[in-house]
């Protein structure tokens, strides 16, 4: 084989053992003290990873971490606001000191403002964009500094099906999520040569604690039945499979892609 060609062809990949194992990996999942973030963190822990639970509320983060430790997993917690640059950097310094590496980052933390444009202040818009987009980008930058040292990394951005669909009364959230999906592609292109893959998951509506009021309204129940081929909300645990796939060796040639996880909701109108 021509030497120039051989350089582009890696060693054969054999699907032996458990391609979905995360043993020996260190994973940081933001916004993982509850909801989808906690389910992802638990799934990674089940697969053998050392998991870092992150949240703004120290008590909730500690409780979530305890739940994993009580199940026999290797986990600890960090409480900080991802939008605060100083404490964000300090959190990564701690990861470097404790492990010398970070293999997986899930940018799951985010905020929501279900209001139309006319009811949003400039501060409202900047706060949401800073948390949902800019902080996730900065988290990714800090993570790649650690990942590049080992020529390996997985970044998973949790976007939303509402980055592709829009509706009245929910102005800025879809914009932030669509922008994060674009950032996913750019990170994938820039960091692929360093062995760092970046992909996204775009969830539809899941029956999480955060969405309880939303999913209990009769009009939303009827809308889900008429719009979703599965005629139900997503179960929080159903995000684990796609997240584990993207975090593991099973997705070693998947880069810059978005898995839409909505039961087919976005296919119908």
What whole-number distance in Å separates Cα of residue 40 and Cα of residue 17? 22
253 is catalytic: no
> So what's the pLDDT on residue 10?
54
Among residues 76, 152, 173, 253, which one is catalytic? 173
- Tell me the domain boundaries of the chain: 21-267
pLDDT tens for 44-90 read 999 999 999 999 999 999 999 999 999 999 999 999 999 999 999 99
Q: What is the pLDDT along the chain (269 residues), one digit of tens a residue?
A: 455 545 555 554 454 568 999 999 999 999 999 999 999 999 999 999 999 999 999 999 999 999 999 999 999 999 999 999 999 999 999 999 999 999 999 999 998 888 888 888 999 999 999 999 999 999 999 999 999 999 999 999 999 998 888 888 788 999 999 999 999 999 999 999 999 999 999 999 888 877 777 777 777 778 788 888 998 889 999 999 999 999 999 999 999 999 999 999 888 77
Report the residue count for the chain.
269
Question: What are the CA-CA distances from residue 72 to residues 45, 48, 79, 237 (Å)?
Answer: 9, 10, 22, 19
pTM value is: 0.91
Closest Cα partner for 203 from 185, 223, 180?
180
Domain 21-267 falls under CATH 3.40.50.720 = yes
Cα separation, 210 vs 119, in Å, equals 22
Interatomic CA distance for residues 52 and 32, integer angstroms: 9
User: In degrees rounded to 5, what are phi and psi of residue 264?
Assistant: 95, 10
pLDDT score recorded for residue 235: 93
């Amino acid at each position: 084989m021509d030497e120039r060609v051989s350089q582009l062809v890696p060693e054969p990949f054999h699907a032996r053992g458990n391609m979905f194992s995360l043993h020996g990996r260190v994973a940081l999942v933001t916004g993982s003290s509850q909801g989808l973030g906690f389910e992802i963190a638990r799934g990674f822990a089940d697969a053998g990873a050392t998991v870092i639970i992150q949240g703004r509320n120290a008590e909730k983060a500690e409780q979530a971490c305890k739940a994993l430790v009580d199940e026999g997993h290797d986990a600890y917690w960090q409480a900080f606001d991802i939008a605060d640059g100083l404490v964000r950097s300090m959190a990564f310094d701690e990861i470097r000191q404790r492990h010398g590496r970070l293999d997986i980052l899930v940018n799951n933390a985010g905020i929501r403002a279900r209001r139309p444009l006319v009811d949003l202040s400039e501060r409202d818009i900047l706060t949401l964009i800073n948390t949902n987009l800019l902080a996730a980008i900065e988290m990714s930058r800090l993570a790649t500094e650690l990942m590049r040292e080992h020529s390996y990394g997985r970044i998973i951005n949790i976007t939303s099906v509402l980055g592709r669909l829009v509706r009245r009364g929910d102005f800025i959230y879809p914009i932030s999520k669509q922008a994060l999906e674009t950032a996913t592609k750019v990170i994938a292109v820039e960091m692929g040569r360093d062995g760092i893959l970046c992909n996204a998951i775009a969830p539809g509506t899941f029956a999480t604690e955060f969405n309880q009021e939303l999913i209990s309204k009769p009009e939303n129940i009827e809308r889900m039945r008429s719009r979703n081929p599965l005629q139900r909300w997503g179960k929080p645990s159903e995000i684990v499979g796609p997240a584990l796939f993207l975090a593991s060796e099973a997705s070693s040639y998947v880069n810059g892609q978005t898995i839409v996880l909505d039961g087919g909701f976005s296919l119908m109108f």
